[in-house]
Amino acid sequence: MTDTSSRFETLVNPPQEIFDQLLKWSGETEGWSFQATDYDFWRDAYDGYWFFAVIEKESNSFVASVSLALLAPENEEPLYSIGMYYCRPEFRGNGQALEIFRKALAIVGDHNLTLWGVVDLSPKYASKFGLDKVNDCWHMCTTIKMIHVNLDVPISDEYQTKGLNEVDRQKVHEFDRTVCPKTRNRLMDRWFQCPQSYTKVVFDKASGNIVGYTTIRIMLKRKLSVGPMYAMNKAAASRLFHDVLVEIPEWRMHDDICFLHAASNADVTDLVSEYSGGRFESKEFMRGQYTKQFIPIPHQYVYSISDCAHAIV
């Protein structure tokens, strides 16, 4: 066996340029699409954050990564999440990725851990690492090419949207708790500040209650990502989708827009179908899995989760 130990090095929370290399590689080989500033977001917003990267020392080139975040709200069980598990194709099969995955697991210890397992790896996470409390359905990646988006769709006038700054933030957090079983006020406040992000809150005009909110983000690789979109019904979701999209400057210049949602929520594909005249793609992508305790999510209100690296919803 060749001794590779002097050629490679494992770094924890390395400089941004290593994270940027991960985004470049994973974008090319897997089609992953994030923002370069997500690294700052995870470091700032979580109660603990470790980005493990294997690099080739001489060239300072990225080889493999895994990202570990800790959400530890007061008086709630801490929850760790793993994301950005990636290895450049030419280095796969050498055990380097698995080694940093194990380093992350060592930090987690006996606490609850979650990740979004992609279709190919999901059974392995369950059998090898005890991530066997799994969601009963897959999360779909549903994409509309922007040339197929037609905003000329009838929308109910029972709902109205407002910009985030016109709304009592505490009420937004209260609504968030109806969808997300963990308290994450600070985290979402930081999320709303991410650059290239457009957020609106939707109200039921009759009751004055918040019935949803969405953020649409401009990602690398000319993509838009709906993340998150929560709504109590499809009509409120439709209002949100329309009102946020038109606010994004030159939204038509992007290649496509993507939703990540549970297969069981047929309202998402209905909505997407309405706005695309049936021209969209939807494929099984991943599912939520946990080690200790499964955290159920009200999928019927989730039109798109916020972030497939570390968010549970």
Ligand X SMILES: CC(C)(COP(=O)(O)OP(=O)(O)OC[C@H]1O[C@@H](n2cnc3c(N)ncnc32)[C@H](O)[C@@H]1OP(=O)(O)O)[C@@H](O)C(=O)NCCC(=O)NCCS
Residues in contact with ligand X by the rule CB under 6 A: 30, 85-87, 92-98, 101, 117-118, 121, 124-125, 128-129
CB of 263 to ligand X, least distance (A): 17
Residue 24 vs 234, nearer CB to ligand X: 24
CB of 248 to ligand X, least distance (A): 28
Residue 87 vs 231, nearer CB to ligand X: 87
CB of 99 to ligand X, least distance (A): 7
Cis peptide before 228 (omega within 30 of 0): yes
How far is Cα of residue 286 from the mean position of the Cα atoms in its chain?
11
Residue 87 vs 232, nearer CB to ligand X: 87
CB of 205 to ligand X, least distance (A): 41
Residue 116 vs 301, nearer CB to ligand X: 116
Q: How far apart are CA 164 and CA 154, in angstroms?
A: 24
Residue 86 vs 191, nearer CB to ligand X: 86
Q: What is the chain written as a DSSP string?
A: ----TTTEEEEES--HHHHHHHHHHHHHHH-----TTHHHHHHHHSSEEEEEEEEETTTTEEEEEEEEEEE--TTS--EEEEEEEEE-GGGTTSSHHHHHHHHHHHHHTTSEEEEEEETTTHHHHHHHH---EE-SSPEEEEEEEGGG--------TTEEEEEGGGS-HHHHHHHHHHH-SS--HHHHHHHHTSTTEEEEEEEETTT--EEEEEEEEEETTTEEEEEEEEESSHHHHHHHHHHHHTTSTTGGGSSEEEEEEETT-HHHHHHHHHHHTT--EEEEEEEEEESS------GGGEEE-S-TTT---
Residue 92 vs 205, nearer CB to ligand X: 92
CB of 284 to ligand X, least distance (A): 13
Residue 95 vs 277, nearer CB to ligand X: 95
Q: What is the dihedral of CA 172, 175, 180, 181, to 10 degrees?
A: 120
CB of 255 to ligand X, least distance (A): 21
CB of 203 to ligand X, least distance (A): 37
Q: Which of 4, 8, 7, 65 is nearest to 38 (CA)?
A: 65
- ∠ CA 20-21-25, nearest 5°, is 120
Residue 36 vs 118, nearer CB to ligand X: 118
CB of 103 to ligand X, least distance (A): 12
